[in-house]
Amino acid sequence: MAAKRAYLDYNASTPLLAAAREAMVAALDLTANPSSVHAEGRAARRLIETARREVAALVNARPEHVVFTSGATEAASTLLTPDWQMGRGSVRMSRLYVSAADHPCLLNGGRFPAAQVTRIGVDASGIADLVALATALDAHDEADGLPLVAIHAANNETGVIQPIDRIAGIVKAAGGVLVVDAVQAAGRVSIDMSAGYADYLILSSHKIGGPKGVGAIVAAADLMMPKPLINGGGQEKGHRGGTENLAAIAGFGAAAREALAELQAMDAVRQRRDEIEAIVKTLVPEAEIFGTGAPRLANTTFFAIANVKAETAQIAFDLAGVALSAGSACSSGKVGPSHVLKAMGYGDSLGALRVSIGSATGAEDIELFRAALAGIAARQAARDKADRDKAA
């Protein structure tokens, strides 16, 4: 294993920020339950409410519309349900519409039966087919219930950014409800929930420099909410039972505060991403970089090298001191064909590598990537030559 290492897998999880660590350590010194009414309990509650304001500020939402969860997957499972509440009444969502390139936590449909989930295709760049979405929603039978649309703001593999403003317009015109998975977008692009960005937003702490094991649902309003996934003692205004994870929530809040301040750093991150892509095209001219025909996150590149299996290249990078991913890191360590590339029309056999970086990524990290890729390219060239010589 190489002595020096470059961490280029920010879309899987970001390094814990110093501010988040400090907030967590301070929270660990608070003994009380935040639901307790004594002074110690009120101190713990103030910490949670501070974090709630910080998370809300990241997406320009109202703090009282933030519900803390154990992560983005729980948030998705909570929101993706046919059963909703409006005051004391019930509201039913009769069908879920998702993008074929969505993260598995959306693609799997949450609490909807598989027969009630419709997948909307994407184009070769990974942008959702808006005509197909509008057509599907036009055909939706509201007699059975409302349509619920769930889509990622930015793809975790390609970094492609969806036209959420246009999607929101289509969903609103159809009388539907829009859930946006902003896990990869938050802290990397500006999000304004006050401007009708979405009805509900999904966030994850460890994608923005906070701890793992905490996320949030952010609502545009509090008139309607899904029936709880976890019932308990009425925490989070009854939307999510269970004593709050005080330290994790404190770290999440601090990370959100830092992420909001760091939004202006994305131009510098984009320059480093472009440098990485230039290295790829120089060392492996035939490499294909996906999603370049659409707006992308500044920190993400997803590419394939002809005749090189993604898992083989990932291992080679790791041995050379570079941590990156072969697609999503959310499949228990399994590496297989990318469903995102398949949805984009590339078939099952193509594997790709994802490089995702942050504001802390520096010249030394990029140099380690260059050296590792040069070695992979040289070995593949030698194998190709040997195959040609053998065939001759």
Q: How distant, in Å, are the alpha carbons of 6, 351, 367, 371 from that of 364?
A: 8, 27, 5, 11
Asked if 365 contacts 7 with a C-beta cutoff of 8 angstroms, the reply is yes
Rounded to an integer, what distance in angstroms lies between the CA atom of residue 161 and that of residue 180?
Answer: 12
Asked if 147 contacts 97 with a C-beta cutoff of 8 angstroms, the reply is yes
- Whether 330 is a known active-site residue: answer yes
Helix, strand, or coil (residue 173): helix
Which residue is catalytic, options 16, 323, 330, 350?
330
* Residues forming beta bridges with residue 160, ordered by sequence position: 296
Asked if 54 contacts 256 with a C-beta cutoff of 8 angstroms, the reply is yes
Asked if 89 contacts 227 with a C-beta cutoff of 8 angstroms, the reply is no
Asked if 68 contacts 45 with a C-beta cutoff of 8 angstroms, the reply is no
Asked if 195 contacts 47 with a C-beta cutoff of 8 angstroms, the reply is no
For 360, phi then psi, to 5°, come to: -85, -10
Tokens of 29: 């010194």
**Residue 235 backbone zone (phi > 0: left; psi -120 to 50: alpha; other: beta):** beta
Active site members: 330
